[in-house]
Amino acid sequence: MPPAPSYDFPAPILKRQADGHMAYHYLPVPPDIAEQLMKSGTKRVILTLNSKEENRAIHVTRDGEYFLVLGMTVLRNLGTKPGDVVIAELHSDPNPNTIELPPEFKEVLDQDPEAAERFYGFTPGKQRSVSMYITQAKRTETRVKRSLEMAHKLRTYTLHGDTPPNSPSTP
């Protein structure tokens, strides 16, 4: 099988204030590149900057602008900062559903079968979101604290937007 095509392009790292939400940093993706990737069924990509890779998802605004979200942790990992103009390289993620669990969370899940069963029942996107929340902590102590907190929320159905089993659905 031939290797997946790779796309290189220059882009600035920008900041966007979301509608009443927190601000975030992002990398705009040229529409022709994003549309080619999306047409091939690719939503998750590997972004390479400064010889370092990050797995990201292509997002689109209501206005049809494509972008990759880059949190401050990702920017630090890539050796970039807001305002930098970078040469980005994108290619399809060959394993789009792979989630890297922080070791602290894996250990907590290994000891909490109820939380583990619930976590592994989530979609890959939701698993990735939970995992990223824990991974973004710099200190081991904070990752352990977040892992324990997340296991409790999984067990007690208190994650944002959770509906406990056997509860009546809202009309």
Question: How far is the C-alpha of 102 from the C-alpha of 136, rounded, in Å?
Answer: 10
Model confidence pLDDT, tens digit, residues 98-142: 888 999 999 999 999 999 999 999 988 888 889 888 988 889 999
**What are the tokens at 40?**
């091939």
CA dihedral 60, 17, 147, 127 (to 10 degrees): -10
Does the structure show a pLDDT above 80 at 29? Answer: yes
Model confidence pLDDT, tens digit, residues 39-80: 988 889 999 988 888 889 999 988 999 999 988 878 888 888
Does the structure show a pLDDT above 70 at 84? Answer: yes
Residue 128's alpha-carbon distances to 57, 134, 136, in angstroms, are: 11, 10, 12
Question: How far is the C-alpha of 150 from the C-alpha of 145, rounded, in Å?
Answer: 9
Asked whether 116 and 108 are in contact (CB, 8 A), the reply is no
Average pLDDT over residues 22-31: 90
Q: pLDDT tier at 150 (50, 70, 90 boundaries)?
A: very high
Question: How far is the C-alpha of 76 from the C-alpha of 57, rounded, in Å?
Answer: 18
Does the structure show a pLDDT above 70 at 1? Answer: no
What the chain holds in terms of domains, given with CATH numbers, is 6-92 (2.40.30.100), 103-156 (no CATH)
Three state DSSP letters for 5-51: CEEEEEEECEEEECCCCCEEEEEEECHHHHHHHHHCCCCEEEEEECC
Closest by CA to 133, choosing from 122, 149, 117, is 149
